[in-house]
Homo-oligomer: A and B are copies of this chain.
Amino acid sequence: MMPLAADALLVQEVAPRDGFQIEPAWVPTEEKIRVIDACSRAGFSRIEVSSFVSPKAIPMLRDAEEVFARIARRPGTVYVALVPNLRGAERALAARADELNMVMSASETHNLANMRMTREASLAGFAAIMEAVAGAPVLVNASVATAFGCPFEGEQQADHVLEIASRYLALGVSGITLADTTGMANPRQVAALVRRTLELVPAERLTLHFHNTRGMGLANVLAAYDAGARRFDAALGGLGGCPFAPGATGNICSEDLVNMCAEMGIPTGLDLRALIAESRRLAAVLGHDLPGQVAKAGLNRDLHPKPDFVTQ
């Protein structure tokens, strides 16, 4: 695990997985690799590359093996694979993923809808994965989806989310993610849950995953940061979305987050101009507008010329 400067904020890029998986049109393998390589060059310490899920479940990511095989790996960057089950974990290991990310929902209803199994079945599967990878040179992260609310059940109790985190830790995972899967979190709730989670796990092992579905994405990041969190998922251009909120935005936007940090003096180690260039290129490749703002507005320091009639 990379040591953190006390005030640094680590942005982990998830567009290649959480964004591309719900794109309406096929994103060519070539393009996926190009985006991931651009993210490596821009300095991301962690990139979620793809998902080793059934091609029937998520056809958009059916090229996970090829993508992993052909990306240019940058030393110091952790390349992550989402794995839904033991079969996925075996595929990810064969593809030389640096980290496996397992996902279960806090909400039983959401887990049944999303993973098609009970939470107890998910946890049993995670135990099998941990056993299978024991001794392998791979990190394992476990995510709590719908940690801040479920679109079917509503609010999730903090005690319940913390219990899941404890069970993850008991399995021996190296990291935990609290995910606001459908953008229901608010800053007060985030600050409270982060503070309590940091009693279980240190900041360098905790990731927050926010969506901007109701416009609070960056506000939630700051609330989590002020409460001590330091690692955040984000997607170039704010790619992604939520099947329950057509038209609403998806993941928080990487370049908008990095720009906020830059303006506030919070170090991220990322090349902001490279991110903006890649986000603009991505919008052109995908053929639709992306919700990210800074790629449209530009940086504060890129000043505009005075109008001609202003002579002073």
**Tally of contact residues, A, Cβ under 8 A:** 60
CA distance A223 to B113 in the complex (A): 37
User: Does A177 touch B at the CB level, under 8 Å?
Assistant: no
Docked-complex contact A215 and B265, CB < 8 angstroms: no
Docked-complex contact B218 and A216, CB < 8 angstroms: yes
Docked-complex contact B152 and A304, CB < 8 angstroms: yes
User: Does A131 touch B at the CB level, under 8 Å?
Assistant: no
A57-88, CB < 8 A from B: none
CB within 8 A of A296: which of B112, B116, B151, B247?
B247
What number of copies of this chain does the assembly contain? 2
B-side contacts of A154, CB under 8 Å: 300-301, 303
CB within 8 A of A256: which of B214, B218, B265?
B214
A259-312, CB < 8 A from B: 259-260, 263-265, 289, 292-294, 296-298, 300-301, 303-307, 309-310, 312
CB distance from A276 to the nearest CB of B (A): 11
A-B contact pairs, 5 of them (CB 8 A): A113-B306, A183-B297, A215-B253, A218-B219, A247-B289
Pairs A-B, 10 closest by C-beta atoms: A186-B263, A245-B297, A215-B256, A247-B296, A248-B297, A215-B293, A219-B219, A248-B296, A112-B310, A188-B264
